[in-house]
Structure 1
Amino acid sequence: MNQPLHAVRFPEESSAYRTARDRLLRAEMELRRQIEATAALRRALPLGGRVPVDYLFDDEGETPVDTDIERQVRLSDLFEDGKDSLVIYSYMFGPSMAQPCPSCSSILDALDGEIPHLSQRTNVAVVAKSPIQRIRHFARERGWRHLHLLSSAHNTYSTDYHGESADGRQLPALNVFLRRDGHIHHTWSSELMFVSPEPGQDPRHVDAIWPLWSVLDLTPEGRSVDWRPSLDYDRGDAAA
């Protein structure tokens, strides 16, 4: 018989609950080991390909709520001194879309609040294909304050790094780049997006930066195959 894993107990819990919970706890411990091992493999990846172009983005600066500045910035300019990694999220907000992707917007709602913390260690930017003025307008409506929002309307970044398909369909790609010896290299992408999930699975390729599902996974109801986040809950269009 397996020994209890710790002595902490909760009010009125049964022995059946504790037995099942310990079984789950062992699975959680194994998952933690696997997460750490996977992160180590990710860190150990050799350098990916050199970025072929120092892409020129339309840029509104780093404070979308407070500025009307429009400028252009190159990919190399997104690396601050002392921080050699750059994380770029491809936001599904193309010029032909009536509105941005609600799921992407949910991700960015959370990421906006984390930017002051993340910026202590790494560089983060968000790229969409729509014109920068349209991106700024939505960011202001959304109340985003910290995201560094860029437009790839006039370059090939989105197609080169799979934030856009050949037919113009927008994709939620997450890419990481590294500055090394004066050059910029691609190091990692959310390639799970391109691998078909097993039956009943979500793709999960950007779950690592999306706390919504992590919280729902803790509940007895779990995720729902019939529910996805909405841009606006006031209209009752996302009740589930």
Structure 2
Amino acid sequence: MTDHRTGTREEWLAARLELLDEEKALTRRGDELARKRQELPWVRIDKEYRFETDDGTASLAELFRGRSQLLVYHFMFGPDYRAGCPSCSAIADGFDGFVPHLAHHGVTLCAVSRAPLAKLQAYKRRMGWSFPWASSFDSAFNYDFHVAHTKEEWDSGAVEYNFRTMDIRPEPGEDEDAMDVGTDFATYRREGPGMSAFALEDGVVFHTYSTYERGLDILWGMYQWLDRAPLGRNETGLWWRRRDEYDEPV
């Protein structure tokens, strides 16, 4: 027998309707926050960034691919990684399929990482993805948007991430396998996940929004499903893997 509280259908329905009121309030609050995101002031980008793409060298404006809006997923894949971050990979599994839908709504979704393009292309083939992925290897883009940190910043314990200065160096004994990307922890964690949004008007690029850390939860489709499963996230550690690394295929 289960240890979880049980009840009749009528008891379940009464509790579900009560919860429904709270879910509707959360949805309305989410709609309000979405409007406030769109009302943020836009910041003009005058700096010249160059990226390597499947189609050659591109500017930030060219990453829009002729559309007026650009969403960038800051994918953790540093130059020294042997493979992409498993967490970013799980997120990418989710957004790969809806890139065409966004494109037909005037929005380009593109991942950007500091690893050289050849590494990104090889990993993309391995994972079976089709979304655009650009390398910022020779660009300050990741540093300027605070998803990459210099060794000096790391060593000082003053890394700017998620709109605050923080020390993300591990405690003694916590320097583990760096999420299996083939580097030491410090090299791994000098990259960070995030997403940024940009608008293009009259040839001028504007930065409109960025989010980091748990601000990415809503973009991680797997967690939205788990939050509705009977046991929720039910986590005691990092349980997920790259989808081709589980012991048994499902």
Please give the range of the TM-score, normalised by the shorter of the 2 chains: 0.7 to 0.9
Q: Which residue of 2 aligns with 1:111?
A: 95
The answer to whether the 8 A contact 1:126-1:149 is kept is yes
Q: How do 1:82-231 residues align onto structure 2 when only pairs under 5 Å count?
A: 83-121=67-105, 122-145=107-130, 147-167=131-151, 169-191=190-212, 193=213, 203=214, 205-223=215-233, 224-231=235-242
Distance 1:129 1:80, change over 3 A: closer
Q: Which residue of 1 aligns with 2:174?
A: none
1:76 positional shift:
1.1
- The separation in 2 between residues aligned to 1:178 and 1:161, in whole angstroms, is 16
Q: Which secondary structure state, in structure 1, belongs to the residue aligned with residue 44 of structure 2?
A: coil
Selected match of 2:16 from 11, 17, 21: 21
1:13 positional shift:
5.2
1:52 and 2:46 correspond = yes
The answer to whether the 8 A contact 2:61-2:203 is kept is no
The answer to whether the 8 A contact 2:99-2:108 is kept is no
Q: How do 1:33-48 residues align onto structure 2 when only pairs under 5 Å count?
A: 33-47=28-42
The answer to whether the 8 A contact 1:92-1:104 is kept is yes
- The separation in 1 between residues aligned to 2:39 and 2:236, in whole angstroms, is 35
1:23 positional shift:
1.2
Deviations 1:20-50 (A, max 9, x none): 1111111111011111111111111121x22
1:90 positional shift:
0.8
Q: Which residue of 1 aligns with 2:3?
A: none
Distance 1:75 1:144, change over 3 A: same
Q: Structure 1: give runs of 5+ residues left out of the alignment.
A: 1-11, 62-70, 194-202
- The separation in 1 between residues aligned to 2:9 and 2:27, in whole angstroms, is 26
Q: What percentage of aligned pairs have identical amino acids?
A: 29
TM-score (normalised: structure 1) = 0.79
Which letter maps to 1:94?
A: G
Q: Detail structure 1 runs of 4+ shifted over 6 Å in the superposition.
A: none
Q: Which structure: greater helix fraction?
A: 2
Q: Structure 2: give runs of 5+ residues left out of the alignment.
A: 1-6, 152-186
Q: Which secondary structure state, in structure 1, belongs to the residue aligned with residue 231 of structure 2?
A: coil
- Higher mean C-alpha displacement, 180-189 vs 29-38: 180-189
1:52 positional shift:
3.3
Q: Which residue of 1 aligns with 2:177?
A: none
Higher-RCO chain (CA-CA 8 Å, sequence separation at least 6): 2
